[in-house]
Amino acid sequence: MNSVDLGRVFYRIEDIHFLRIALIVAAALVIIVAVQRLFPWVAHRLPGRARLYILPLVPILRILIIIVTVLTVTPMVIKPTAQNFVALFGALGLALGFAFKDYVSGLIAGVVALYEQPYRPGDWVTVDGAYGEIESMGLRSFRMITPDDTVVTVPHSKIWTAVIANANDGKREHLCVADFYLHPAHDATAVRRMLSDVALTSAYLQIKLPVQVTAAERPWGTHYRIKAYPIDGRDEFSFVTDLTVRGKAALTGLAVRWATAPAAVPEERP
Amino acid sequence: MMLWSFVPHSQFTRPPEPAREAALGRVRGLLQRIGRKALAARPVSVQAELRSASLKLLDRVAPAPRWGAAERSLEFALSSWSGEQAPQQNLQIIVGPPGAGTTTVVQRWAERNQYRLVQPPPYRQLIEGSTDWLHQLDGDDPLALPNLECFFARHYRGVDAMRRLVDRVCNGSRRIVVGCNSWAWSFLSRTVRINALLPEPFVLVAFDAARLQQWLYVLAQSTAGCSLSFRLTDDGSHVLPAVENCANADSGDLEDQPAGADRTEKPSSFLEQLAARSRGNPLVAWAQWRQCLHTSKDDDVDEDAQEAASGDNGRTIWVRPWSDVAMPEVPANTAPEALMLLHTLLLHDGLPADLLDLLLPASLGGIMEQLYRLRSAGLVKLESGVWRVTLLGYPSVRATLAGEDYLVDGF
């Protein structure tokens, strides 16, 4: 573009209110930071289910604030004609497409994720073998905390190609499984009933949701699974531990033998 | 209107809360929850800023209820069943929330009607899987189990014990009357399907504003020994009809008799709120009522209220408006372990600490720490070695557990 074309597109330097633009951008940043801090703070103080309605609002509000800020600031710099906008955004698109295509892909994937909601803050997801709770969603990526307290940053662009498994999909509770491996010589009916009672009497159990005990025969013995929901999905590991510890105590009381050979290999979690 | 009345569970309805107060209460609760401090480690006096009435005065104007009238009402409810030679259903179930006096009423009814009382086994026997105690059910004489919640423990062997008990109770033709805590009833309905195996229970009808007006009036009348007026401290309006002087009488006889005041007088909005806040639970309402009573110096009462009271006969008892009364509340960010503990206490209508160790996924030390914190907040108390949720703390505990998706009772 030559200086004449630029003169048609942009206002003159002396006509641009840089201070006002700076104030608008600063205000937008302050609001975004406030939302990112205030909403999680409020969410953690409210009854359990409310948290899962409030947390997903953060990335939505952030993108709305950014859009409003861009729409407010742009007409202060560029003469608002259709021709100018087409020229500017065309040039921008060309530049970004080559130089920052992965970054832009992540940004667009982030917008798609907000709309389609394959995941949201508070969800427990598995991506490329990493499993954890989504703590926050940024523009380009989201952060999740694994059970080992490791922070994993996953770009939104993963939704184009990877399989993302969501354990709770916005709900407070998600299915947990405790496995038991027994020697095949035992009373299966008594074991199933005992394991069912173990689950029904767990202090973590969401008793309004069903409890199921499944059994599958394997070459080395019988594989039992207690499938149940905790009241709060964040207690997943405490819940499974409780089921396992009390289940083992209950089965020991039934004088069942544990599977020994070959070594019991837990099935991969999907 | 019969003050105490038992109805089938499906006919139970809670007193409504005035819409404006309900909306304000939710907003207030939300703001309190967001701004409330965490459970303090040191004891905090719940009534630090209040000067409540002395115990002596409270026992005169709001004495502990006796259950004579409730027992007579149960007698009336079961009279046709008792009189049948061969009833269609040999079982009668009475369910009530903490504070409805279910165990006491069923026990007294059973003693009067010569039903043999079945004693619950020690909890450790239930947890160890012992079934010796089931021999109490041998025979064909009429039986009463006033406290079914004491016949199970939330333990994999404790639930099995309940199945065996229900099996013995259902398979027979002898008459059996069972009383059960509503929280245990909800839990057992989910675990052993007790609601499908046993007949629909009777429940005490909820104490709405009109019933509370009658009951609190009669309680005051029975022991006051002088004329009384109950007025709000902010505007001096009457909360109850003025109590006329009368000789002391057994409140158990008076609780279901018409009082001297105009029975059609519309209950005050204070009583409507009392009914809603206590969820129609008589003992909870009684505890909250006592909490609101106040003997004040003049500087605590508005001038308009004092002027309104100047013409009262006898003594004026001041009642704090709801905006000035603090009830025990479950603090924000209460640990999940504390909520589990509260839920367990409600399921069993109280437990000793050493048994909580067997039923909860926490150490005894951690449980004791939680109990002391909850006691400091006025939410639990220790009575004869048993920890229970307090009557005053019950509404907040129930609301918190419901908000956190715990299984709650149907009251």
Distance in angstroms (rounded) separating the CA atoms of residues A96 and A90: 10
- Residue pLDDT, tens place only, A105-151: 888 899 899 889 999 999 999 999 999 999 999 989 999 999 999 99
pLDDT in tens, B90-104: 999 999 999 899 999
Query: B406 and A201: CB-CB below 8 Å?
Result: no
Is the CB of B159 less than 8 angstroms away from the CB of A44? Answer: no
- Other C-beta atoms closer than 10 Å to the C-beta of A53 total 13
CB B266 within 8 A of CB B15: no
CB contacts, 8 Å: A239 with chain B: none
pLDDT digits (tens, 9 = 90+) for B52-92: 567 778 888 888 888 889 999 999 999 999 998 888 899 99
Q: What are phi and psi of A223, to 5 degrees?
A: -105, 115
Angle at B324 between CA B321 and CA B328, to 5 degrees: 110
Confidence band of B188 (pLDDT split at 50, 70, 90): very high
Q: Are B184 and B409 in contact (CB under 8 A)?
A: no
The pLDDT score that the predictor gives to residue B128 is 92
Q: Give the lowest-confidence range in B57-71, B135-149, B197-211, B348-362.
A: B57-71
Least confident range of A55-69, A76-90, B190-204, B315-329: A76-90
- Give me chain A's average pLDDT, please: 89
Q: What pLDDT does residue B47 have?
A: 38
Band of the pLDDT at A25, cuts 50, 70, 90?
Answer: very high
Probe site for chain A from B156, B186, B195, B397 (most A CB atoms < 10 A): B156
Q: pLDDT confidence of A5, banded at 50, 70, 90?
A: low
Residue A45 pLDDT level (bands cut at 50, 70, 90): confident
**Beta carbons of A127 and A158 less than 8 angstroms apart:** yes
DSSP state of B114: T
Give pLDDT, residue A3.
47
CA dihedral A108, A111, A112, A113 (to 10 degrees): 120
Say how far residue B352 (Cα) sits from the centre of its chain: 20
Please state, for a pLDDT cut of 70, what percent of chain A lies above it.
Answer: 94
ipTM for the whole predicted complex goes beyond 0.90: no
What integer pLDDT is reported at residue A265 of this predicted model? 58
Mean pLDDT of A177-188: 96
Whether B160 sits inside 8 A of A44 (CB atoms) is: no
- The letter for the amino acid at B130 is S
Taking the C-alpha atoms of residue B351 and residue B341, their distance in angstroms, rounded to an integer, is: 10
Q: In chain B, how long is the greatest CA-to-CA distance?
A: 69
Cβ contacts of residue B110 below 8 Å, gap of 6+? B116, B117, B144, B146, B177
Q: Rounded mean pLDDT of chain B?
A: 86
Interface of A with B in 224-243 (CB under 8 A): 231-232, 235, 238, 241-242
Residue B104, pLDDT score: 95
335-354 of B, contacting A, C-beta below 8 A: 336, 340, 343-344
Q: Which residue of A has its CA nearest to B163?
A: A197
Q: Which residues contact A71 (CB under 8 A, 6 or more apart)?
A: none
Work out whether strand B202-204 and strand B91-96 pair parallel, antiparallel, or are unpaired. Answer: parallel
In terms of C-beta density within 10 A (0-12 exposed, 13-18 middle, 19 or more buried), how is residue A102 classed? exposed
The answer to whether B313 and B289 have CB atoms below 8 angstroms apart is no
Burial class of residue B138 in the structure, from the number of CB atoms within 10 Å of its CB (0-12 exposed, 13-18 middle, 19+ buried): exposed
**pLDDT value at position B306?**
79
CB proximity list for A81: less than 8 A, separation 6 or greater: none
Instruction: Identify the residue with better confidence: B218 or B133.
Output: B133
In angstroms, rounded to a whole number, what is the distance separating the alpha carbons of residues A52 and A233? 11
- Torsion-angle region of residue A50: left (phi > 0), alpha (psi -120 to 50) or beta? alpha
Structure pTM?
0.86
Q: Does B37 touch chain A (CB under 8 A)?
A: no
Q: Nearest 10 degrees: CA dihedral of A100, A103, A104, A107?
A: -160
Contacts of B406 in chain A (CB under 8 A): 231
pLDDT digits (tens, 9 = 90+) for A78-98: 877 888 778 777 887 787 777
- The predicted pLDDT at position B377 comes to 95
Regarding predicted confidence, which is higher, A205 or A103? A205
| Closest approach of B335 to chain A, Cα-based (Å) | 11
State how beta strands A164-166 and B143-145 pair.
Answer: unpaired
Residue B39 has pLDDT above 70, yes or no: no
Residue B285 one-letter amino acid: A
Q: Which residues contact B275 (CB under 8 A, 6 or more apart)?
A: B15, B206, B207, B208, B209, B211, B212, B285
Interface-testing mutation among A51, A171, A174, A197, with chain B (most B C-beta atoms within 10 A):
A197
**Model confidence at A267, in pLDDT bands (50, 70, 90)?**
low
pLDDT over 90 for what percent of chain B? Answer: 60
A206 touches chain B (CB under 8 A): yes
Burial pattern B310-321, b for ≥16 Cβ within 10 A else e, equals eebeebbbbbbb
Greatest alpha-carbon pair distance for chain A in Å reads 91
Distance CA B347, CA B35 (A): 30
Question: Under DSSP, is residue A182 helix (H, G, I), strand (E, B) or coil?
Answer: strand
Element containing residue B59 per DSSP (H, E): helix B55-61
d(C-alpha B358, C-alpha B128), whole Å: 11
Q: CA-CA distance, B387 to B355, in Å (whole number)? A: 11
The residue whose two tokens read 């939300």 is B30
Q: What is the pLDDT of residue A1?
A: 45
Q: pLDDT tens for residues A7-22?
A: 677 788 888 889 999 9
Radius of gyration of chain B (CA): 22
C-alpha to C-alpha distances, B72 to A177, B69, B108, B257, B269, nearest whole angstrom: 51, 5, 10, 12, 30
CB B274 within 8 A of CB B285: yes
pLDDT over threshold 70, residue A182: yes
pLDDT for the residue numbered B59: 84
**Token pair for residue A5?**
């074309």
Contact criterion met (CB below 8 Å) for A93 and A117? no
Cα B344 to Cα A49, A269, B327, B349, distances in angstroms: 21, 32, 22, 8
Alpha-carbon span A58 to A39, nearest angstrom: 7
Number of neighbouring beta carbons within 10 Å of residue A268: 6
Q: Does the distance separating the beta carbons of B33 and A46 come in below 8 Å?
A: yes
From B283's Cα to the closest Cα of chain A, the distance in A is 27
A159/A118 Cα distance (integer angstroms)? 8
Amino acid symbol at B407 = L
Residues A150-170 have pLDDT tens digits of 999 999 999 999 999 999 999
Burial B60-90 (b: 16+ CB within 10 A, else e): bbbbebbbbbbbbbbbebbeeebeeeeeeeb
Give the list of residues 6+ apart from residue B164 with CB closer than 8 angstroms, or none: B131, B134
pLDDT in the model for residue B204: 94
Which of B168, B173, B163 has its CA nearest to residue B91? B173
